[in-house]
Structure 1
Amino acid sequence: MDPIQRVASREVYRNNWMSVREDEIRRSDGSTGVYGVVDKPAFALVIAQDGDRFRLVEQFRYPVGARRWEFPQGTAPDQDEFSPGELAARELREETGLRAGSMVTLGRLDLAAGMSSQRGWVFHATDITEGEPEREHEEQDMRSAWFSRADIEKMILGGEIADAQSIAAWAQLMLAERHRP
């Protein structure tokens, strides 16, 4: 039996990218409560590597009111037919114009497990071919550039890269490299 059971649920908000619901819950000791949950579709994040260069994108992130560098990532609302790998290839192509000859899964991430159901996959893309980005309208202010490993680490330590998914994905890559046979 789950330690928390949903007794009732109501949707309080919805748009094309997310919904918010309020669940009445019952804990294992019988006490009741309320849980607010943000539901979003699964995302894919891609660490594209060409030699010792890694591709980042920068865009204005409205909720934090600042431009942020991060690894290419995104979702495909209402398009459940995409596998995680297909979604990763699509996001990489759309945001950077890059195509990968090899796309290896590094792991999974729960975006904010205390408040959101959103989960994602992290991929390491290599054997890179460059092309033109195919950005969505919302991404019109986006730019992308190559960075060295040292630059990325300096940007993480200096707070220039503050995106939690990008930092967690970087840790997954570092661990995968350390434990490669």
Structure 2
Amino acid sequence: MRPDFDQPIRQMSTKVAYESPYMRLREDGIVRMDGSEGVYTYVDKPDFALVIAVEDGGFHLVEQYRYPVRSRSWEFVQGSLPGLVAGDPEALARQELMEETGITAGALRHLGRLNCAVGMSSQGFDVFVASELSHGEAAREVEEQDLRHRWFPRGEVEDMMRDGVITDNATLAAYTLFLLRTPPG
């Protein structure tokens, strides 16, 4: 009998194997297309917002230490709400931009929605372009005390991507959306 490739894997049970204020590790009992049973383990995290802040032919980036990879990382502004809760993506984008950089966007345009790591996490994110920027004081959370904010010209950002300085997958994917959905010029 030929498997039905249109039928998804069926969830038979679920349990939280571990939970913290930032994520859950979930174990689901599943039945595959061929009828065999198994376990699928994945990270369950709330969605986040990512903001491409555009100004004067360049972009505002933040750099912070990312513990899992034990190195600093230049990225577009991004973040989620605390306590494993979901919220309005646009409001979250505005909040993260202000908290991390002190910037307020006069205009915010939604570029699209992406998923981070479809094979191991439920987390997705909404990408926004911020323009008509006003500058103020950042209001960083305690986890962001090492965060640095800097504006870069577009060519330098692209060089950083090309040279492997920027390796954050969400930043790279968001920039691809930016290139595809923003008219040249």
Q: Secondary structure at the match of 2:82?
A: coil
Provide the C-alpha distance between the structure 1 equivalents of 2:176 and 2:141, rounded to a whole number of angstroms: 29
1:146-161 equivalences in 2 (<5 Å): 146-161=151-166
> Are residues 1:58 and 2:63 paired?
yes
Provide the C-alpha distance between the structure 1 equivalents of 2:8 and 2:90, rounded to a whole number of angstroms: 33
**Match for residue 46 of structure 1?**
51
Q: Secondary structure at the match of 1:169?
A: helix
**Match for residue 73 of structure 2?**
68
Provide the C-alpha distance between the structure 2 equivalents of 1:77 and 1:96, rounded to a whole number of angstroms: 18
How far apart are residue 3 of structure 1 and its match?
1.7
Q: Percent identity?
A: 47
Farther-moved stretch of structure 1 (28-37 vs 125-134):
28-37
Provide the C-alpha distance between the structure 2 equivalents of 1:20 and 1:85, rounded to a whole number of angstroms: 27
Q: Secondary structure at the match of 2:63?
A: strand
**Match for residue 168 of structure 1?**
173
Q: TM-score, normalised by structure 1?
A: 0.95
Q: Number of aligned pairs?
A: 180
> Are residues 1:177 and 2:171 paired?
no
1:88-127 equivalences in 2 (<5 Å): 88-127=93-132
Q: Secondary structure at the match of 1:115?
A: coil
Change beyond 3 A, Cα 1:81–1:9? closer
Q: TM-score, normalised by structure 2?
A: 0.93
How far apart are residue 48 of structure 1 and its match?
0.2
| Structure 1 unpaired stretches of 5+ | none
How far apart are residue 2 of structure 1 and its match?
4.0
Indicate which of 103, 119, 131 corresponds to 2:136: 131
How far apart are residue 24 of structure 1 and its match?
1.0
Provide the C-alpha distance between the structure 2 equivalents of 1:5 and 1:35, rounded to a whole number of angstroms: 11
How far apart are residue 81 of structure 1 and its match?
6.6
How far apart are residue 79 of structure 1 and its match?
7.2
**Match for residue 34 of structure 1?**
39
Q: For residues 4-48 of structure 1, what are the alpha-carbon distances to aligned partners after superposition, in whole Å with 9 as ceiling and x for unaligned?
A: 011111111100110001111001221111111100001000000
Indicate which of 145, 151, 154 corresponds to 1:140: 145
Provide the C-alpha distance between the structure 1 equivalents of 2:86 and 2:31, rounded to a whole number of angstroms: 34
Q: For residues 91-148 of structure 1, what are the alpha-carbon distances to aligned partners after superposition, in whole Å with 9 as ceiling and x for unaligned?
A: 0000000000000001111010101000110000000000111000000000000001
How far apart are residue 51 of structure 1 and its match?
2.1
Q: For residues 159-178 of structure 1, what are the alpha-carbon distances to aligned partners after superposition, in whole Å with 9 as ceiling and x for unaligned?
A: 11000000000111111124
When the two chains are superposed, the root-mean-square deviation of aligned CA atoms in Å is 1.6
Contact 2:50-2:93 at 8 Å conserved across structures: yes
Amino acid at match of 1:7: M
